[in-house]
Structure 1
Amino acid sequence: MSGCRTEITWIISLRATCIIPTGSTAMTTASWKRRRNSIQRGNHDCSASAGRVQCIWRIGMNETLPVIYLARHGETAWSLTGQHAGLVDLPLTAHGEHTARQLGQRLRGLTFAKVFTSPLQRVSKTCELAGFKAVAVDDPDLLEWNYGDDEGKTTEELLKVRPGWQMFRGGYPGGETAEQVSARADQVVSRVRTVEGNVLLFSSGRFLRMLAARWLGLGPEDGRFFLLSTASLSALGYEENRSQPVIRLWDDTCHLRT
């Protein structure tokens, strides 16, 4: 199926031949054009680039409540090879820098009360190239998982010596346990929930997966369900009030397809 990827909200592209829906209702490009012409602008967010109009539909949500945007860093040499990159301070590849700029285009027009970034260079450089370094605050709680003795190894290599191992259930020898990373994520959740206004967080893949699980009140092991691409954008929010946390958008990479 073509089109942009989401699990919670509509992500609609006029280049798509079909739309990934919320629930069981599909919408073709033609019907989307008709609906676009009949809706009020206040019911959706739109951006246009390279001939594509992309909208995030806001379905049944209280739009006065803040949104927490999650930006994963761009590509590194180890994200290409599948090696665990925790606290090792890797730079972005040239392609990673390009996608960080594209992420910045995706965020253009949005306003944020606070912007926080991991101090790791692959993350802070993504933040800089996206256009937010001047207003971003370094937050060590946003650091990637400390992989300890397993830094630089692939999951395949780890499973050979620890069959059945899962990172979100256990952890890493000489590094952090899942519970320790979960505690850091809880600190971030508590902090951003006190901010009046939208927040933008720049961090790394596995930490952001843990953050999503903890935002929803799920256990640390449930972080394994939330896959993330490099230079992707996700959004956490609320449905009707602050006691109803939801994921509004997950692993949006539409901006990388232009």
Structure 2
Amino acid sequence: MPSPSPELWLLRHSATDWARNGRHTGRTDRPLLPEGEEEARRLAPALAGMAFDAVLTSPLQRARRTCELAGLGKDARIVDDLREWDYGDYEGITTAEIRRSVPGWTVFSHPCPGGESLEQVGQRCQRLLNHCQGLIGGHGRLALFAHGHILRALAGTWLGLGPGGGALLSLSTGTLSVLGREREQAVLLRWNAPV
């Protein structure tokens, strides 16, 4: 059944080697691990009975493959704004390694030299939400397959906290989350749910 109010189903890609090791994986196009492929298949039953007005995916293979294994690949449209945060010089490096030279660093509170700023990510999130609004208006359901930091920033933007609000939201691989509304208020209907 269609949703009576807008719903954005956010699906974080499944496990990759860099995700397992805590390495920042922005533009590097890492494949899913075998256990990541199994993790993605476990999403299929939760999505099978849902009617989606559109399925959108990041162009990176880890998101596209998760979408395929979850059963929605044939309907998916690639949307560049769903790419992961561009970490610039911090690509492939862990937070612990970055904090040796920048104590207290997080992607939400400090810059990524040579990469995207929080403001740039916020603009991307707003463009994406505007695009989603154009697809479903005030009601309907979309599935978005993407990455941890961009989905957290998107949720923060949806909630009116800005992209930095994503710092408050943990998001594991191979999970689903749902953004929606309760009356006029933007809310989290479901977050970081394993399947």
Q: How high is the TM-score relative to the length of structure 2?
A: 0.94
Query: 1:223 corresponds to which residue?
Result: 166
Q: Provide the C-alpha distance between the structure 2 equivalents of 1:132 and 1:219, rounded to a whole number of angstroms.
A: 29
Letter of the structure 2 residue corresponding to residue 180 of structure 1: Q
Q: CA deviation at 1:189?
A: 0.9
Contact 1:145 1:207 survives alignment (8 Å) = yes
Deviations 1:150-201 (A, max 9, x none): 1110000001111122211233111111111111111111111223321000
Structure 1 residue runs without a partner (length 5+): 1-44, 46-62
Say whether residues 1:208 and 2:151 are aligned partners. yes
Q: Secondary structure at the match of 1:235?
A: strand
Give SS of 1:194's match.
helix
Report the Cα distance in structure 2 between the residues aligned to 1:204 and 1:220, rounded to whole angstroms. Answer: 14
What is the match of residue 193 of structure 1? 133
Query: Letter of the aligned partner of 1:121 in structure 2?
Result: Q
For the Cα contact (< 8 Å) 1:149–1:172, is it kept in 2?
A: yes
What is the DSSP-based 3-state SS (H/G/I as helix, E as strand, rest coil) of the residue aligned with 2:6?
coil
Q: Which has the higher helix share?
A: 2
Aligned twin of 2:124: 184
Supply the distance in 1 between the matched residues of 2:59 and 2:111 (Cα, whole angstroms).
Answer: 22
CA contact (8 A) 2:16 2:30 kept: yes
State the one-letter code of the partner of 2:101.
V
* Local SS of the residue matching 2:55: strand
Match of 1:150 among 64, 68, 90: 90
Query: Can you give the 5+ residue segments of structure 2 that lack an aligned partner in the other structure?
Result: none
Q: Which residue of structure 2 aligns with residue 238 of structure 1?
A: 181
CA distance in 2, matches of 1:225, 1:168: 10
Among 89, 94, 116, which residue is 2:56 paired with? 116
Distance 1:200 1:144 in 2: 16
Quick one: higher RCO (CA 8 Å, sep 6+), 1 or 2?
Answer: 2
Dislocated runs of 4+, deviation >2 Å: none
TM-score by length of 1: 0.72
* Identity of matched residues, %: 44
Cα drift, residue 132 of structure 1: 1.0
Separation of aligned partners in 2, 1:133 and 1:247: 25
